[in-house]
Amino acid sequence: LKAILDSGVSKKEAAIWETELKNLVSTVEYFESRTLIEWFTPIYLDIEMLLHIYTRHTRETFLDKGPYKGKTLFQYKIDDIINLLKCALKVIENEIKEHFLLCEEEKNRKDFRKKFIYNNDSYQLRINGNGRITQFHQLKSNIDYPLHSE
């Protein structure tokens, strides 16, 4: 609700989101962190990131006002986004593992950051040094990113 009010919408407009917020609660009510790549540093999606994706990057809850204006949107429902993330991770899994192998001995592991194209759409992915997915969203342009396809 804070994100909605921070966007500059009126309280009346925010009330319109009540149904979507209830849908969000039902979507995440039984959600548990999911390991998407089994590895010595497991790559996982937690509830905080799932909520971020749902509230900032889906049509159901999209706010095109205030600080959120111009954000990119997924054209999918949240379950489909999770499946998309799994598929995209499989395509770049070796790069992710290589990154974590290279910085295995570093005390403060560096984030894995990658812009890539998957099925003709471009995405941004970030995984922190502990394996937590901290960013995943569609980009507006496919220009200058390595091509990865199924």
**Block mean pLDDT (10 aa), the chain, length 150:** 66 70 73 88 91 74 58 75 90 91 72 88 91 90 46
**Phi, psi angle pair for 51, to nearest 5°:** -65, -40
In the chain, what is the greatest distance between 2 CA atoms, to the nearest angstrom? 53
How many Å apart are CA 102 and CA 72, to the nearest integer?
32
**Res 135: pLDDT:** 92
**Res 59: pLDDT:** 64
How many Å apart are CA 48 and CA 63, to the nearest integer?
18
Is the overall model pTM greater than 0.75, yes or no? Answer: no
DSSP structure class, residue 117: E
Query: Would residue 37 be called left, alpha or beta, if left means φ above 0 and alpha means ψ between -120 and 50 degrees?
Result: beta
